[in-house]
Amino acid sequence: MQDSPTIDLTAIRDGIASGALGAERTCAAMLDAADRHNPLLNAYHETFREHAIAAARKVDEDARAGRPLPPLAGVPIAVKDNVATRLGRTTCSSRMLESYRSPFDATAVERLVAAGAIVVGKTNLDEFAMGSSGEHCKWGPVRNPWDPTRVPGGSSAGSAAAVAAGLCAAAIGSDTGGSIRQPASFTGIVGLKPTYGRISRWGLVAFGSSLDQIGPMTRSVRDAALLLDAMSGVDEHDSTTADLPPTALAATVERPLEGLRVGIPRQYVSDANDPEVNAAVQAAADAYRAMGATIVDADLPLTDVGISTYYVIAPAEASSNLARYDGIRYGHRAQLKPGEDLFTLYARSRSEGFGPEVQRRIMLGTYMLSSGYYDAYYKRALQVRRRIKEEFDRAFASCDVLLGPTAPTPAFGFGANADPLAMYLCDVYTVNTNIAGICGISLPAGTAVRDGKRLPVGIQLQANAFEEERLFRAARMLERALAPVNAAHAPVVRA
Amino acid sequence: MSNEQSSGSLTAAQVAHVAKLARLEVPAGRVEEYRTQLAAVLKHIAKLDAVDIAGAEPMAHPFESFNRLADDVPVDGLPIEDVLRNAPAVEGRFLAVPKVLAEGD
């Protein structure tokens, strides 16, 4: 390892391939750490020791025999529990799917496994990926490894906590409005929301179908590149995947960009942010300037209406997608009393199976799609969505990447955003990436001290649709420049 | 603005109606809580009214989507036993459900 903050997936992969690290030993060490720390962190819902050790043993045998190894041979990966795996259960951290066993693997998982990765466990999330804290999980709240009295962010809470604490080499999450990037920012790791259509959504339990993307959560930018390379590319099972080959970012990520133009939207540096967040953005801008990049002003006046747009589109799509949970074919079924009808079976199964936040969003979406309200809410939001996309296109005409905060604050305490609307506003800098379908990555950029504890602060880079190569090279430049700052501190709970 | 005023746009009857449309059983004691929370979100969403949308084509999807046709080659579906494994109630190779039609229908 040269300058990445901790040993990352790439280093583990290289160590396994060279024989310096055994795959079995690495896997066992991470699972031991999971056993030790999971009672506190609650990152994993389930781990697969027997399966993982057997798969790792096979990698060690292949390595000893000199057989060629696939690119991710033996690396232990955690999977968010709204991504289908034949292994174990796929619960979405919901009572609704408490005992659901997927009959197939998600394409993203299938591709990671084909590349040699070993799935070591399923991680907890805000139920059905609806939340920004990791508190709304049927299996209890997930805790932040930097300060267990605070949330890890959400909804990919368990994946973030597991990566930050070293309970896996990397993880996959899903991002509908910031669910990869915000927890990455709260736990000091790298999180990517790829361009819509980069990674197949086949096997990702649908929430907001025009917004959802699977993405990597890792300890370095190069790891995120490797995982995107393995998972991306057109998929016959998802007609919304872009008709493009898999990315090959690992080959270019180390190459700095010449003449890079970094835009800072004036709406992103706000008094509403904590001072350390604005300082991190400033420090990143200074680092870019020192590397010869040009900093330009950008203007995204619709930043502020992103949350309003999102909370029409996402609940509308969710109310439609979640209509499939009716207690008939799979999922929770309520017990009826004699004489109760089919309608009662549907309604009671759903109200027993879904938690309050999920029910709130289903009602919100149902209301906005109902007769007489559709034009005022849904259609209008789709028109504002067009304006947001146009605004990004204008901004990217004069810069290559946009720099700003991932979240307005570092990790907050449990219950601090108990009011649903206050929780929604945490995602002000991330939702528009999904609304426009572009790509964004969160990187660790220093720390802030709260109640005597060090907490990570994240910054976000965004690039236009399918510009991941540029995004990653720009991100790697910054990661290299910020390495001394990020190496100074580590989570208190870690392997 | 008081809660009373800010949630004035949504009535308890509307919450109950929406719950029925959404196939949710909301106990009477929870209606007011949902009404207040949903009304606060709707009030925030009203920010959309200030955006100039004249001539903006609604954007339902990030990219222009089109029908992608697969080759007309039959492929096997999932094995029935794998699918039925998740069913809450089964009779033989079928899903068991409560009576759908009332007597005499």
* List of residues 6+ apart from A83 with CB closer than 8 A: A90, A106, A108, A109, A172, A174, A203, A204, A205, A214
Q: How far is the C-alpha of A57 from the C-alpha of A78, rounded, in Å?
A: 18
CATH of the domain at A102: 3.90.1300.10
From A417-431, B14-28, B67-81, B82-96, the region with the lowest mean pLDDT: B67-81
Q: What is the pLDDT of residues B40-54, one digit of tens each?
A: 999 999 999 999 999
Q: Are A436 and B62 a contacting pair, CB within 8 Å?
A: yes
Q: How many domains does chain A have?
A: 1
Among A234, A366, A425, most B C-beta atoms within 10 A, so best to mutate, is A366
So what's the pLDDT on residue A2? 37
Residue A240 forms part of a structural domain = yes
* Domain chopping of chain B, boundaries: 3-49
Would you name the residues of A annotated as active-site residues? 80, 155, 179
Q: Is the per-residue pLDDT at A5 higher than 70?
A: no
pTM, two decimal places: 0.96
Q: How far is the C-alpha of A279 from the C-alpha of A286, rounded, in Å?
A: 10
Note down the domain range covering A227.
9-258+472-482
- Tell me the HSE value of A152 on the side-chain side, using a 13 A CA sphere: 38
Q: Is the per-residue pLDDT at A202 higher than 60?
A: yes
Residue A139 forms part of a structural domain = yes
State ipTM.
0.91
Residue B42's nearest CA partner among A218, A266, A308 is: A308
In terms of CA atoms, which chain A residue is nearest residue B80? A103
Q: Is the per-residue pLDDT at A3 higher than 50?
A: no
A301 contacts in chain B (CB < 8 Å): none
The first and second tokens of residue A489, run together, are 């501190």
The first and second tokens of residue B75, run together, are 């492929």
In terms of CA atoms, which chain B residue is nearest residue A367? B18
So what's the pLDDT on residue B5? 35
Q: Is the per-residue pLDDT at A345 higher than 90?
A: yes
Question: Does B47 sit within 8 Å of A327, measured CB to CB?
Answer: no
A320 contacts in chain B (CB < 8 Å): none
Name the class of domain B3-49: mainly alpha
A444 to each of A5, A173, A188, A384, B41, how far by Cα in Å?
Answer: 10, 17, 5, 31, 31
Rounded mean pLDDT, A344-364 = 97
SS (H, E, C) A249-286: HHHCCCCCCCCCEEEEEHHHCCCCCCHHHHHHHHHHHH
Burial letters for A299-321: b for 16+ Cβ neighbours within 10 Å, e otherwise? ebebbebbbbbbbbbbbbbbbbb
Residue A181 forms part of a structural domain = yes
Q: Nearest C-alpha of chain B: how many angstroms from A202?
A: 15
Task: State the average pLDDT for chain A.
Answer: 96
B53 contacts in chain A (CB < 8 Å): 380, 383-384, 386-387
From A430-444, A453-467, B73-87, the region with the lowest mean pLDDT: B73-87
Among A384, A421, A464, most B C-beta atoms within 10 A, so best to mutate, is A384
Q: Nearest C-alpha of chain B: how many angstroms from A160?
A: 27
A239 part of contact set with chain B, CB < 8 Å? yes
Q: Nearest C-alpha of chain A: how many angstroms from B5?
A: 17
The first and second tokens of residue A218, run together, are 């890792």
B25 contacts in chain A (CB < 8 Å): 344, 347-348, 350-351
A360 contacts in chain B (CB < 8 Å): 34, 37-38
Give B2's DSSP letter.
-
So what's the pLDDT on residue B102? 67
So what's the pLDDT on residue B33? 95
Q: Which of A307, A343, A389 sits opposite B59 (nearest CB)?
A: A389
Q: What is the pLDDT of residues A302-332, one digit of tens each?
A: 999 999 999 999 999 999 999 999 999 999 9
Residue A207 forms part of a structural domain = yes
At B104, is the pLDDT very low, low, confident or very high (cuts 50, 70, 90)?
Answer: low
Q: How far is the C-alpha of A128 from the C-alpha of A134, rounded, in Å?
A: 11
So what's the pLDDT on residue B68? 80
Which residue's entry shows tokens 């060629």?
Answer: A68
Residue A277 forms part of a structural domain = no
Q: Is the per-residue pLDDT at A180 higher than 70?
A: yes
Q: What is the pLDDT of residues A116-158, one digit of tens each?
A: 999 999 999 999 999 999 999 999 999 999 999 999 999 999 9
So what's the pLDDT on residue B103? 62
Q: Is the per-residue pLDDT at A410 higher than 90?
A: yes
Among A348, A367, A431, most B C-beta atoms within 10 A, so best to mutate, is A367
So what's the pLDDT on residue A336? 92
So what's the pLDDT on residue B3? 36
Q: What is the pLDDT of residues B39-97, one digit of tens each?
A: 999 999 999 999 999 999 999 999 876 678 888 999 898 999 998 999 999 999 999 98
Q: How far is the C-alpha of A351 from the C-alpha of A364, rounded, in Å?
A: 15
pLDDT > 70: percent of chain A: 99
